[in-house]
């Protein structure tokens, strides 16, 4: 093969990515680096266990702050066809905290903004239909580009299997009518060309309709050192302040906000066309808290805490491995890939990562590593000395369950600061 042909083959094999040189919302070039997580593979690129190692492309993951509109954002946009292939393994229905959250959302909507049976509810990025299953007393429609749409259809949730665009919104509105409620939970920060997406929401929404988003909340990220939520699916890290700016450019305004526990700390924002709904005091209150919590000094402290947590975790694991201890990871959420790759864990440190039966990730390798993802039953059969909780943000829920199932070792919670939680103490408490 000639050098020219080799170059051609290389060029067509590398997925498209675009550096962010101007703010994704306001187009300002005043972007300030906050934290660099390294070069990370896409979090759902998971080869099958036993496969011969092949090239895995990684992309730089740098968190930037726009000094004009205050949006925090990733410094590289990777093609959604790479990040969200049809085989995308994530399903929201397998996580209890998400099921409970969506049930609570439906109750909150019924209380604050009651719907009629004839009203249409549309969920963008509807995944397996878990959210919409709480609104089946109304007309519902999901929009989901991956095979999770087929799971939703099986439980009776009508779903369009496409990426959401303004053109799709026009087609849906023409066919189904306008929606009283449009939701976008854990996806509004994922989609490129965000202005086109908001325009699509407006095409889809009734004049008095509501748009509800749930996204990872920057304030929670800083407070609890959640650098592991930085990966390429998450293009933006919102605050109420930055959302007010983005939505305001399209004639929308936040009318109610609420911090929620999902994904280690998220923000739920209700938005409406200006003047159509009363603005709740929660909006101003939360923006005041952001001004107090997101300061240059706190951002410098955040970066320093990340570095210290990495060094402390290495030191803790070194002591365990020196004494002959085994460490199994528990949970393989997308955020686990960032933590494992940033910290530099491999299969000599972390024997395996465990997922509950039925997970599509079992039998795969953690991205960028040769650490296998195995059935959670392995934890109880082999009884390692330590379980590293990669889903550490739900540790209070996870630890009692693992103890009740029979795990006899200790637990490592890696963030905000690495700590060991005694399994023996947990068993006595239980």
Alpha carbon 170 to chain centroid distance?
27
Q: What is the pLDDT of residues 136-193, one digit of tens each?
A: 999 999 999 988 899 999 999 999 999 999 999 999 999 999 999 999 998 899 888 9
Supply the pLDDT for residue 7. Answer: 36
Q: How far apart are CA 97 and CA 111, in angstroms?
A: 21
Q: What is the pLDDT of residues 200-214, one digit of tens each?
A: 999 999 999 999 999
Shared-domain flag, residues 257 and 127: yes
- Which stretches of 20-133 are assigned E, i.e. beta strand? 31-40, 59-66, 72-74, 76-78, 120-124
The answer to whether residue 181 is domain-embedded is yes
Shared-domain flag, residues 271 and 392: no
Beta bridge partners of 365: 372
Supply the pLDDT for residue 62. Answer: 97
Shared-domain flag, residues 284 and 339: no
Q: Output the CA–CA distances (angstroms, integers) from residue 128 to 9, 93, 342, 395, in the order listed.
A: 37, 7, 30, 25
| Tokens found for residue 429 | 């408490």
Supply the pLDDT for residue 127. Answer: 92
Q: How far apart are CA 405 and CA 388, in angstroms?
A: 16
Q: How far apart are CA 155 and CA 424, in angstroms?
A: 42
The answer to whether residue 85 is domain-embedded is no
The answer to whether residue 423 is domain-embedded is yes
The answer to whether residue 163 is domain-embedded is yes
Whether 125 contacts 164, CB under 8 Å: yes
Supply the pLDDT for residue 290. Answer: 97
Q: Which residue has the tokens 């369009």?
A: 160
Element (H or E) spanning 170, and its range?
helix 166-176
Chosen domain end from 240, 274, 294: 294
Q: Output the CA–CA distances (angstroms, integers) from residue 359 to 101, 138, 350, in the order listed.
A: 21, 31, 20
Question: How many residues are recorded in the chain?
Answer: 430
Of 135, 245, 214, 130, the residue nearest 180 (C-alpha): 135
Q: What is the pLDDT of residues 171-181, one digit of tens each?
A: 999 999 999 99
Shared-domain flag, residues 248 and 342: no
Shared-domain flag, residues 125 and 206: yes
Q: What is the pLDDT of residues 337-351, one digit of tens each?
A: 999 999 999 999 999
State yes or no: pLDDT of 241 exceeds 70.
yes
Q: How far apart are CA 78 and CA 83, in angstroms?
A: 7
Shared-domain flag, residues 258 and 396: no
Alpha carbon 206 to chain centroid distance?
28
The answer to whether residue 350 is domain-embedded is yes
Whether 135 contacts 155, CB under 8 Å: no
Range of the domain at 392: 323-429
Mean pLDDT across 304-332: 97
Alpha carbon 171 to chain centroid distance?
28
Alpha carbon 380 to chain centroid distance?
29
The CATH code of the domain that includes 185 is: 3.40.50.150
Shared-domain flag, residues 215 and 358: no
Supply the pLDDT for residue 3. Answer: 36
The SS3 of residue 129 is coil
Q: How far apart are CA 131 and CA 184, in angstroms?
A: 10
Shared-domain flag, residues 248 and 348: no
Burial of residue 272 (CB within 10 Å: 0-12, 13-18, 19+) is: buried
Angle between helices 334-343 and 296-322 (to 10 degrees): 80
Q: How far apart are CA 216 and CA 50, in angstroms?
A: 35
The answer to whether residue 13 is domain-embedded is no
Shared-domain flag, residues 262 and 384: no
| Tokens found for residue 243 | 């959302």
Say how many C-beta atoms besides its own lie within 10 A of residue 427's C-beta. 14
Read out DSSP for 243-303?
Answer: HHHHHHTTTEEEEEEEEE-GGGSEEEEEEEETTSSPPPTHHHHHHHHHHHHS-HHHHHHHH
The answer to whether residue 31 is domain-embedded is no
End-to-end CA distance of the chain: 65
Whether 168 contacts 199, CB under 8 Å: no
State yes or no: pLDDT of 132 exceeds 90.
yes
Q: How many structural domains compose the chain?
A: 2
Chosen domain end from 250, 279, 294: 294
The model's pTM is 0.88
Buried b (16+ CB within 10 A) or exposed e, 366-404: bbbbebbbbbbebbeeeebebbbbbbbbbbeebbeebbe
Shared-domain flag, residues 209 and 347: no
Shared-domain flag, residues 156 and 278: yes
Q: How far apart are CA 245 and CA 341, in angstroms?
A: 34
State yes or no: pLDDT of 14 exceeds 80.
no
Q: What is the pLDDT of residues 65-116, one digit of tens each?
A: 999 999 999 999 998 888 877 666 666 666 778 899 999 999 999 999 999 9
Shared-domain flag, residues 97 and 192: yes
| Tokens found for residue 384 | 């390692």
Supply the pLDDT for residue 425. Answer: 80
The answer to whether residue 60 is domain-embedded is no
Reported as a pLDDT band with limits 50, 70 and 90, residue 5 is: very low
Mean pLDDT across the chain: 92
| Tokens found for residue 136 | 């089946």
Residues 6 or more apart whose CB falls under 8 angstroms from that of 53 comprise 47, 370
Say how many C-beta atoms besides its own lie within 10 A of residue 320's C-beta. 20
Chosen domain end from 278, 294, 310: 294
Reported as a pLDDT band with limits 50, 70 and 90, residue 430 is: low
Supply the pLDDT for residue 275. Answer: 94
The CATH code of the domain that includes 334 is: 3.40.50.720
């Amino acid at each position: 093969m000639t050098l020219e042909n080799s170059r051609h083959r290389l060029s067509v094999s590398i997925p498209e990515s675009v550096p962010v040189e101007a703010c994704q919302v306001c187009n300002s070039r005043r972007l300030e680096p906050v934290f660099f997580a390294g070069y990370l593979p896409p979090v759902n690129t998971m080869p099958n266990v036993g496969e011969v190692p092949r090239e895995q492309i990684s992309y730089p993951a740098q968190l930037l702050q726009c000094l004009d509109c205050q949006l925090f954002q990733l410094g590289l946009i990777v093609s959604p066809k790479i990040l969200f292939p049809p085989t995308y393994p994530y399903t929201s229905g397998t996580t209890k905290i998400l099921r409970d959250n969506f049930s609570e959302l439906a109750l909150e909507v019924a209380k604050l903004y009651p719907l009629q049976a004839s009203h249409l509810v549309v969920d963008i990025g509807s995944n397996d239909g878990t959210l919409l299953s709480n609104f089946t007393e109304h007309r519902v429609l999901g929009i989901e580009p991956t095979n999770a749409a087929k799971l939703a259809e099986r439980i009776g949730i009508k779903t369009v299997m496409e990426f959401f665009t303004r053109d799709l919104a026009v087609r849906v509105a023409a066919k189904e009518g306008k929606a009283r409620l449009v939701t976008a939970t854990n996806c509004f920060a994922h989609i490129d060309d965000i202005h086109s997406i908001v325009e699509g929401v407006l095409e889809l929404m009734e004049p008095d309709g509501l748009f509800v988003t749930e996204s990872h909340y920057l304030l929670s990220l800083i407070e609890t050192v959640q650098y592991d939520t930085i990966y390429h699916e998450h293009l933006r890290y919102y605050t109420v302040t930055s959302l007010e700016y983005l939505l305001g450019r399209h004639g929308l305004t936040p009318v109610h906000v609420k911090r929620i526990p999902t994904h280690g700390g998220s923000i739920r924002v209700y938005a409406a066309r200006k003047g159509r709904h009363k603005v709740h005091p929660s909006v101003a209150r939360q923006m005041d808290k952001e001004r107090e919590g997101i300061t240059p000094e706190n951002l410098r402290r955040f970066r320093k805490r990340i570095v210290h947590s990495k060094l402390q975790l290495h030191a803790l694991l070194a002591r365990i491995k020196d004494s002959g201890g085994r460490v199994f990871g528990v949970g393989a959420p997308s955020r686990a890939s960032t933590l494992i790759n940033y910290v530099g864990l491999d299969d000599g440190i972390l024997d395996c990562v465990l997922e509950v039966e039925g997970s599509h990730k079992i039998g795969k390798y953690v991205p960028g590593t040769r650490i296998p993802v195995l059935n959670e039953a392995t934890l109880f059969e082999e009884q390692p000395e330590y379980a590293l909780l990669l889903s550490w943000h739900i540790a209070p829920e996870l630890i009692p369950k693992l103890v009740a199932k029979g795990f006899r070792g200790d637990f490592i919670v890696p963030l905000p600061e690495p700590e060991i939680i005694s399994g023996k103490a947990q068993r006595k408490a239980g």
